[in-house]
Amino acid sequence: MSVDALTYQNVTWVNIENATPQDVDVLRRKFRFHPLDLDDVLSKIERPKVDEYEDYLFIVMHFPVFDYERRISAPSEIDFFIGANFLVMVHDGRLKPLQALFSSCKQDDTFAQRHLGKGAGRLLYSILDRLVDYMFPILSKIGGHVRGIENDMLTEDMGDIVTRISLVRRDIIALRRILKPQMAVIANLENRERPFIQEELDVYFGDISDGFGKAMDIVEDYTEVIRGLSDTSNALTSYRINEVMRILAVISVVMLPLTLISGVYGMNVPLPFAGSIWSFVIIIVLMVLIAGGMLYYFRKRGWL
């Protein structure tokens, strides 16, 4: 069993980590939650949403957690059942602020008074506020990667730069996919009144909405920057390819008359200087003069 409960004054906070069917049976016996909501708790693919009932809300939200093995931000789902005097929180244990806040409230009455003493709605705000703050170090990590790419763009191997750009771009796309749907959930909490949630909480949920808006603005800025860096890397790669192709073209053009001369003197027919003991030296000198003259001409025209 992974059900842990804390009651302070008249508010009960239930914390469930990695819910099992047995944990859901506990909720079914103690609360009147809709069976479909209880099924959603066990599902790992629920989209963010708010389901409203007469005496409680069922809220599904996602927050980013960085997966170091895959090197990408992955969504961590958290489900809330909130009523007038209770809050049930179901999560997978990857969001560190959740367990830290629950443990602090359980061990210290001062924390419990601050977060549970003003009702379940205020407790929900406290949880979301901590989770929003938890997102910004992840965004800062991405910002560090972006700045590192900017600094190394002209000095590092371009293959490594392209790989780093691809990883950061993938992470940014994942963050946008996680954060964008949460805006509708917070707007629902902010703009609609419920009899079992204090009316003045719209200001607090507005603060959460501002936090998500700020996070989305940062992600959008990173999107524009990484797109510009990608264009720059493509331009540098094209320039370097063109430089290589130009050198190869010059070598091909220089070798063309030399190949012609060697081919002609390889023919089994009478040719000038063919009977001279100096023929080999004369041909080599002629080739050197032709190659040198062509290189001098290319250099003078600015092609080299």
Q: Structural domain boundaries of the chain?
A: 3-238, 265-300
Q: Where are the alpha helices (DSSP H) in the chain?
A: 21-30, 35-42, 96-107, 109-116, 120-152, 158-191, 201-264, 279-300
pLDDT for the residue 256: 85
- Distance between CA 86 and CA 234 in Å, rounded? 55
- β-bridge pairing 72-83 and 86-91: antiparallel
Has residue 241 got a pLDDT over 60?
Answer: yes
For residue 295, the SS3 value is: helix
- Distance between CA 5 and CA 31 in Å, rounded? 13
pLDDT for the residue 270: 67
> Which CATH number does 3-238 carry?
3.30.460.20
- Going by C-alpha positions, the residue among 64, 16, 63, 66 that lies closest to residue 41 is 16
Q: Say how many residues make up the chain.
A: 304
> Binning pLDDT at 50, 70 and 90, where does residue 234 land?
confident
- Going by C-alpha positions, the residue among 59, 8, 45, 32 that lies closest to residue 186 is 59
CA distances from 78 to 44, 128, 153, 303 (A): 10, 10, 39, 63
DSSP summary character for residue 195? T
> Binning pLDDT at 50, 70 and 90, where does residue 271 land?
low
Q: Give me the mean pLDDT over the 23-46 stretch.
A: 87
Has residue 276 got a pLDDT over 70?
Answer: no
**Residue with more model confidence, 189 or 212:** 212
* Residues 169 and 226: beta-carbon distance below 8 Å: yes
- Going by C-alpha positions, the residue among 74, 79, 87 that lies closest to residue 40 is 79
> Binning pLDDT at 50, 70 and 90, where does residue 69 land?
confident
pLDDT for the residue 109: 86
CB proximity list for 236: less than 8 A, separation 6 or greater: 153, 154, 158
Quote the Cα angle for 259-261-267, to 5°: 105
